[in-house]
Chains A and B, each alone.
Chain A
Amino acid sequence: MNTPDTSPPAPVLAAVGISKHFPGVQALDDVRLELLPGEVHALLGENGAGKSTLVRILAGIQQPDGGGMTLGGEPYRPADTAAAIRAGVQVVHQELNLLPNLTVAENLFLQNFPRRFGLVDRRELNRRAAELLAEVGLDISPRTKVERLGIAQMQLLEIARTLWQDCRVLVMDEPTATLTPRETERLFTLLRRITARGTAVLYISHHLEEVFEIGDRMTVFRNGRYVTTRDLADTDTAEVIRLMVGRDLQHEYPPYLPGEPGPELLRAEGLQPQDGQPVSFALRAGEVVGVAGLVGSGRTETVRALFGADRAVGGKVLVKGVPARLRTPRDAVRHGISLLTEDRKSQGLVLDMPLAANVTLTATHKVSWGGLLRRAEENRLAQHAVDSLAVRTPGVRHPVRTLSGGNQQKVVLGRWLLADTDVLMVDEPTRGIDVGARYEIHQQLVDLARAGKALLVVSSDLPELMGICDRILVFSRGRIAGEVPREEFDSSHILTLAYSGYVSAPASATLSSTDPAADASPADASAAERPTAEASATGTPADATSTNGDTR
């Protein structure tokens, strides 16, 4: 991409002057985008910057109000998704688009089943599916029902689905949001193979590190407007953030203020989730405790079992030193424990209900009297949440469906703040959320701890945990592999712990390196990957764990 302008390759896709208006918002205002053959082009911007709208236009889901596009020099104006796919534009959406009751193979070839004598040729179908699965590195049977897969596996499956089709432009909307580092690496290998064929990849992600690793060029949008396009080699993270946000973010994380931990608020002793291992830990007032670990390492299962969202099969929980039976979320809430779930859309929000109703969904007693709702009080408390959390919304009676991801997350957070519980557990609080809102949510979490609450933060984003936590519990294969105090925060150390449960498995005892990440530099994830790749041959880590981790 650094070749001089003498012979620039013709863009495979060019969009100029694209505008799109929705009621109450100009989603896109005269933006442009150029994709060169064989490049990975990052589309960057905060949530609400217009990235998803452009993707929907490229995919033929929506039509632009103004502007025009060309694909391979020809005018491109898809009337619907089928037209876009015919033209060679494939989109892997953030929301997965698979049929859970069908098998992996059936999902892969849904648009074009191999046939024999007019009937589906199952043998051929499964054979071709197995080839594709091998190509994306998915170690699952083509006959597996999709509903039994984990989110990460579904994601790779979705990508595999685009592979057999003729694809000139591949759009990936937040593909790694649910992937572990190992799976992300696998995805990148795959992307490099795809671009080698001349396909242009439009890559949308909030993970800037990944963008710099995989991307060639980037285009930045801000508030629906085009900001710039440049080579990623000529820029750095700080500048990209500045371009996206339009202002300098002094720190990526709120300043750390060491606090004096107070009394113990919550203790889990041998708490064992269904299909999980018993774990023990304690939370004290005033501290932020992180939970690190690979997807499927038992983090989510543990907090859900603790909260009563799923049944625990063993162990006990003490709230302020007193044994408590938390069999349902209701029990947990009554004991002053809350959980912000990892999937805010399916487990957190009632999307079609107003913001106010969502904020007061737990603390209904605060907005009612004898079972009767007090609308004025509800609006007042909701407005208070909107103000204190800086939720960007047209009003408190506005349905939350139309808000951006960051603002939706703030609404769920506002609900638990209103419920005023002593212990707040948050699972992936900033997944898929833009930089500005991320900072605000981090600030809020830290403030809550300093105000005397106990916080448990589950996250796949290690820098996030190291940025805001007092100590980090590292889960590995269902157990707590170690606890790291803030003074000893070090990503390679934490990663080593996270992988330890998988490398010490008996099946991989023959590995030459038993402590593989010891000599790895902090940022070098691939070194830490090696043992798990080995272990996965025995079917242990991500495959086994992500099925029990992500399907429910």
Chain B
Amino acid sequence: MTTSAALTRKPRSAALLARQVMGEAGIGIALLALVVVFAVAAPKFATSDNLTNIATEITLNTMLAVGMTFVILVGGIDLSVGSVMALSAVVAGPLLTAHGLSTPVAILLAVLVSALVGMGCGLVNGFVSERWRVPSFIITLGMLNVARGAALQYTNAKTVYDFPAGFSLFGTSTVLGIPTLFWIALAMVAVGHLVLTRTVFGRLVFAIGSNEEAVRLSGHRTSIVKVAVFVISGLTVGIAAVTYMARLNIASPILGSGYELSAIAAVVIGGASLSGGKGSMIGTLLGACLLGVLTNGLLLMGVSDFQRQMITGLVIMVAVVVDYYRGRLAARLPVEA
């Protein structure tokens, strides 16, 4: 008996270690390793200019991924974020160029309208899929097309530009060497993290993703939570739309195409399960960073666009495999005898 006990000690701690490695710590370690590799392989990688560059590049995806995290945690998905972002931008954009409005007022108005458009689309996504019990995959796929079409219709396929100078100045400003817009993304991550971990709402988001029926039978209105996550996603889309305009100085009806997939990738690489109930905002941030570092580092190493796309795809596949394996490992470690 003593020998068997001694024998078991080793695999036990190894299993625990493996679990930790594959959790949030795992993505952190992977990110760190990637940074070290690129720092060695690409001399220009570890410069403050380049790091600022990366922060700028991942700002939009981080913002979208914050909302996407909420949606994925309840077991849903939001494929419409890219298109809705375009719709938000083209509806809010003209307000910035409107005459007779002082710049701060115009910006405020644009943010408000952009957020409302995003939240409105999110509300439709959430309400329809919840009211008629249709998978959000289908509904948001529909919204992907509806919003894109609406953006093109609204603008007659024309791009809005000529934003006030103060607005684009804000878009390129930095605080403590970090782009202001990235600070905003970080703030969104922080708020999202607090909502998920410190509020009853966040608790219900996780619980619904794991066992919706149990939450319903506990006396909660699960529908409201499930609609709310899509509205939250819409809100982050609205903010991202203004961010896009501030940075690129245009509002095009075709912007944001494919952004939904990057956002989903960040969330999944960050350790969330597509079946819901598992994931974290910190993981999502790290996932977005990892994708950004990967793209940037490969670019600096002179890897072609096509190859970069392949490598990014592989990373996503690895993340999903790891997620699956982690689930199986957890299932294989029952303490109950």
Contact = CB atoms under 8 A, between A and B. Distances in A.
B175 interface: no
A531 interface: no
Nearest to A367: B200
Interface string A333-353: 110001101000011111111
A330 B220 contact: yes
Contact of A21 (B5, B202, B330): B5
B305 interface: no
Contacts of B15: 23
Nearest to A25: B335
B213 A347 contact: yes
Given A352-B277, A353-B210, A371-B200, A22 B4 contact: no
A329 B219 contact: yes
B207 A353 contact: yes
Nearest to A337: B219
Contacts of B5: 19, 21, 26
Contacts of B330: 352
B199 A23 contact: no
B12 interface: yes
Interface residues of A, number: 57
5 A-B pairs with the lowest CB-CB distances in the bound complex, closest first: A333-B219, A66-B4, A21-B8, A27-B337, A402-B335
B13 to A, nearest CB: 9
Main secondary structure of the interface of B (DSSP, over half): helix
Interface stretch (A48-56, A184-192, A294-302): A48-56
A48 B336 contact: yes
Contact of B336 (A350, A371, A403): A403
A373 B336 contact: no
Interface stretch (A2-10, A134-142, A172-180, A356-364): A356-364
Given A339-B217, A347-B217, A49 B337 contact: yes
A48 B334 CA distance: 11
B336 A351 contact: no
A480 interface: no
B337 A50 contact: yes
13 contacts: A19-B4, A19-B8, A21-B5, A22-B334, A23-B335, A25-B337, A62-B332, A224-B337, A346-B214, A350-B207, A352-B210, A353-B210, A362-B220
Interface string B224-248: 0000000000000000000000000
A351 B3 contact: no
A360 to B, nearest CB: 9
A419 B219 CA distance: 10
A81 interface: no
A309 B210 CA distance: 19
Contacts of B7: 65-66
B217 A348 contact: yes
Interface string A87-111: 0000000000000000000000000
For B213, B332, B333, B336, which residue has the most chain A Cβ atoms within 10 angstroms? B336
Contact of B219 (A51, A62, A332): A332
B156 interface: no
Given A21-B12, A48-B337, A351 B201 contact: no
A307 B5 CA distance: 49
Contacts of A364: 200, 203-204, 220
Interface string B173-214: 000000000000000000000000011111110110011011
Interface in A306-346: 307, 309, 328-330, 332-334, 338-339, 341, 346
Nearest to B13: A23
Contacts of A339: 217
A362 B219 contact: yes
A343 to B, nearest CB: 9
Contacts of B217: 307, 309, 329, 339, 341, 347-348
B203 A357 contact: yes
B12 to A, nearest CB: 5
Nearest to B195: A371
A264 interface: no
A307 B33 CA distance: 54
B74 to A, nearest CB: 13
A538 interface: no
A417 B211 CA distance: 21
B211 A404 contact: no
Nearest to B337: A27
B1 A19 contact: yes
Contacts of A49: 337
A28 B199 CA distance: 41
Contacts of A361: 207, 214-215, 218, 220
Given A349-B211, A351-B211, A24 B335 contact: yes
Given A332-B219, A357-B203, A402-B334, 10 more contacts: A21-B5, A26-B5, A65-B8, A329-B217, A333-B219, A350-B211, A351-B210, A353-B206, A373-B200, A419-B219
A65 B1 CA distance: 10
B278 to A, nearest CB: 7
A372 B199 contact: yes
A323 to B, nearest CB: 20
A334 B1 CA distance: 54
Contacts of A461: none
